[in-house]
Amino acid sequence: MRDTSLKTIILYGLAGAITIISVAPIVWVASGAFKSDIEMMSLPPVAPDLLDWSFIGGFLSENYPFILNSLFVTIGSTFFCVLLAIPMAFGLVNFKLRYENFIADWILSTRMMPPIAAAIPLFIIFNGLGMVNSPVALLIAYTGFNLPFAIWVSMTFIRQVPKELIEAARVEGATWFETMLYIVVPVSLSGIATTATFVFIFAWNEFLLALFLTGQETRTLPVVISSFVGTGRVYWSNIAVATLIQCIPPIIFVFAMQRHIVSGMTMGAVKD
Amino acid sequence: MENGKIILRGVEKSFGEVKVIKGVDLEIADGEFVVFVGPSGCGKSTLLRMICGLEELTSGKIFVGETDVSDLPPSERQLAMVFQSYALYPHMTVRRNIGFGLRIAGFDKETVNRKVLEAAKTLEIEHLLDRRPRDLSGGQRQRVAIGRAIVRSPRAFLFDEPLSNLDAALRVQMRKELMSLHEDIKTTMIYVTHDQVEAMTMADRIVVLKDGVIMQVDRPAELYRHPQNEFVAGFIGSPKMNFITATGSGGTLELEGGTSLTYSHISSEKCSRAAKLGVRPEHFDLSTENGSWKGKVVMGEEHGSEKFYQVQVEGLAQIIEVRDIGAESYAKGDSIWLSPQVEQSFIFDAEGNTIY
């Protein structure tokens, strides 16, 4: 009895310690959004005044265009990535192609390249196109970078659609495209939501390509955050506010998508 | 006039090196109910899938009506298929499931609704129209799948073992309904099954397949009465025909084990080619006193209206299966005389072809 309770205390103690270690920085940063630079660094810590939105307001009024840049690039590339990945994955799974496995592997292999290896060539290409200072360049780059991954994830869930469903639709007169649109997509909504979530989070948090391909006006939020570390001074309060804002969209997106990630969509389609 | 005639000419299919359909020629008349039957792996499902376009032809041609459909995608063949697994669209209501093909074909909303309702009435599933497939029982799902097929008024229906997922009672009922449906709409139907009872009861003509080759195409009764070869003779009929290795000369068949049987009514030329004797279980006369063969009952099964016995005949190497509808019953160990009805029995040559 005593042993058990001691064990429990140790376990809970450890769990608590781990929780504090992981949560503390987030709490510090989040509370920093309601403090000045000096208050953030003071010891013992000052309690944040959660009613004081002046730091957040001040940050937003100056930096809202960059948040919009981030949203534009992220939502745009997520949309195009899913839009392109589904037909590609559908084709790779359902069409009898020569070397289809090779093509699929090759597509994935492009994802193995480190982004830094592509950054400079991409810069040269977009510079040549006169697009370096345009968020569209980043949108295209993110779409291209995430496409292989999105195709692979999509292939996995499209393979799970019962073959007979696709065959039934085809015999009923549906073209491949109609079969994909009316049968495969609705049945795979949960898989599509999963793919979109991954792509969204990746694009939203991406830093390296954004650093290379954006100019002063077209920066995304991660680039902006990094700019608060100046040569002479670190703007902690701004970093805290920006980080807090940076955390919000992925959380909203995941919750929104979770609704669609329901299991058993295909129940009743074929004999279980 | 849309014609539901289906013609297969020299149809072959290979998966890599493996040839699964080895040259099939077949003509199916408009409005005919044809059943493809054979053991698993005989290629019957593959053949069906080739007709509807889900499998490409390796060589040969397929015609639906007057059209060569060999290279057409399934969507342009105007055929309907009912799958073993039903293959209902899980995200659509029954109404939308049935109407899918019509909507794809571009019919206006009113026409689609009207036709869906008609089909639902025929199949007595009107009350299910707003449910989803997952809320339906197996039999109801099967009806929806059939509804989805009939609503498009296709040139022909293709059924791929549609009843094998249903329980026995429901299967018998659906079988009857399918037959009366065929009576009503008189559209060509091709039906694949491994169940010879289904084949015998439903078909206008049966196509017996083995290893990708047609063994025989005939009306059910003809298949039973005049099987062209040993395979068909063994496949059609339950319990299976008894096969006894034999050699013949001059009107007498010497059977394996030393017994012989006299065939006075066939030519000695034919007799000399004999390699096997085939007698159906129902073609024996039973007696306690006398007959051609003396044996002992090894096992008996009483079914009320009929009885099945396994009999060890003296001088025969194998157990003989017998079906009897007489009043008398025999028990295990009883002595019994069997007389094969010579007129009703079959003789096969070494290649398995029927001689008599």
- Would you say residue A266 has pLDDT above 60? no
Confidence of residue A267 (pLDDT cuts 50, 70, 90): very low
Q: Per the domain annotation, does A119 fall within a domain?
A: yes
Search chain B and give the residue with CA nearest A167. Answer: B54
For residue B51, give the amino acid letter.
I
pLDDT at A264: 41
**What is the identity of the amino acid at A215?**
G
Query: In terms of C-beta distances under 8 Å and separation of at least 24 residues, what long-range contacts does B259-262 make, across chains too?
Result: B259/B293, B259/B313, B259/B314, B259/B315, B259/B316, B261/B292, B261/B340, B261/B342, B262/B342
pLDDT band at B22 (very low <50, low <70, confident <90, very high): very high
Q: Is pLDDT at A49 greater than 80 in this prediction?
A: no
Give the mean pLDDT of chain B. 90
User: What percent of chain A has pLDDT above 70?
Assistant: 94
Q: Residue B295 pLDDT > 50, yes or no?
A: yes
CA distances (Å), B138 to each of A155, A187, B194, in order?
30, 21, 20
Residues of chain B with CATH 3.40.50.300: 6-234
pLDDT at A180 (0 to 100): 95
Across residues B29-33, what is the average pLDDT? 93
CA-to-CA distance for A185 and B104, rounded, in angstroms? 16
Contact status, residue B92 vs residue B100, Cβ threshold 8 Å: yes
Contact A187 B135 (CB under 8 A): no
Total count of residues recorded for chain B: 356
- For B258-289, how does the pLDDT look when each residue is reduced to its tens digit (9 = 90+)? 777 887 777 777 788 888 889 999 999 888 88
Can you give the pLDDT at residue A261? 65
B75, B84, B148: residue with CB nearest A170:
B75
Is CATH 3.40.50.300 correct for B6-234? Answer: yes
Q: Find chain A residues with C-beta within 8 A of B90's C-beta.
A: 165, 187, 265-269
| DSSP at B55 | S
Residue type (1 letter), B276? K
pLDDT for residue A65 is more than 80 = yes
Q: Which of B74, B88, B91 sits opposite A171 (nearest CB)?
A: B74
Give chain B's end-to-end CA distance (angstroms, integer): 44
| Alpha-carbon gap, residue A75 to A203, rounded angstroms | 8
B91 touches chain A (CB under 8 A): yes
pLDDT at B330 over 90: no
Mean pLDDT lowest among A101-115, A146-160, B29-43, B97-111? A101-115
Residue ranges of E strands in B44-89: 59-64, 67-68, 79-82
Q: What is the mean pLDDT of residues B105-113?
A: 93
Q: SS3 letters for B283-303? A: CEEEECCCCCEEEEEEEEEEC
B8 CB-near residues (< 8 Å, 6+ apart):
B24, B25, B26, B27, B47, B51, B60, B61, B62
Tokens at A223, concatenated: 């680039």
Total domains, chain A: 1
A47 found inside a domain: no
Three-state SS at A100 = helix
| Largest separation between any pair of C-alpha atoms in chain A | 74
User: What CATH fold (topology level) applies to the domain B239-349?
Assistant: OB fold (Dihydrolipoamide Acetyltransferase, E2P) (2.40.50)
**Using CA of residue B71, residue B75, residue B81, residue B87, what is the dihedral sign?**
positive
Per DSSP, A182 falls in state: I
> Residue B253: exposed, middle, or buried by beta-carbon count in 10 A (0-12, 13-18, 19+)?
buried
The predicted structure's pLDDT at residue A5: 86
Does A195 fall in a domain? yes
Q: For the domain that residue A189 is a member of, what is the CATH number?
A: 1.10.3720.10
Contact between B276 and B243 (Cβ < 8 Å): yes
ipTM of predicted assembly, 2 dp: 0.83
**Which residues make beta-bridge pairs with B255?**
B246
Please state the φ and ψ torsions of residue A206, each to the nearest 5 degrees.
-60, 140
Q: What is the DSSP letter of A112?
A: G
Q: What is the pLDDT of residue B259?
A: 78
Domain region containing A98: 64-258
- pLDDT band (50, 70, 90) for residue A1: low
Mean pLDDT, residues A9-30 taken together: 91
Distance separating the N- and C-terminal Cα atoms of chain A: 48
Which band of pLDDT confidence, cut at 50, 70 and 90, is reported for residue B221?
very high
Joined together, the tokens standing for residue A93 give 């799974």
Which residues, other chains included, contact B225 with Cβ-Cβ below 8 Å and sequence gap of 6+?
Answer: none
Residue A147 lies in a domain: yes
What are the structure tokens assigned to B354, written together?
């029927």
Residue A26, in any domain of the structure = no
B104 pLDDT higher than 60: yes
- The average pLDDT across B309-323 equals 88
Q: What is the pLDDT of residues A203-260, one digit of tens each?
A: 999 988 888 888 888 889 898 888 888 777 888 888 888 888 888 888 898 888 877 7
In a domain, A34, yes or no: no
Alpha helices in A95-134 (DSSP H): 100-109, 115-128
Mean confidence (pLDDT) of chain A? 86
On the question of pLDDT at A268 being above 70, the answer is no
Contact assessment for residue B98 and residue B112, using Cβ atoms and an 8 Å cutoff: no
- The verdict on a CB contact (< 8 Å) between A173 and B75 is yes
Helix axes A189-205, A135-159, angle to 10 degrees: 150
| CB contacts, 8 Å: A175 with chain B | 73, 75
The whole-angstrom distance between B172's CA and the closest CA on chain A is: 19
> Does residue A46 fall inside a structural domain?
no
Would you say residue A37 lies in a domain? Answer: no
In angstroms, the CA B274 to CA B355 distance is 7
A98 at B interface, C-beta within 8 A: no
| pLDDT tens column, B146-188 | 999 999 989 999 999 988 888 888 888 889 989 999 998 899 9
- Per-residue model confidence (pLDDT) at position B21: 92
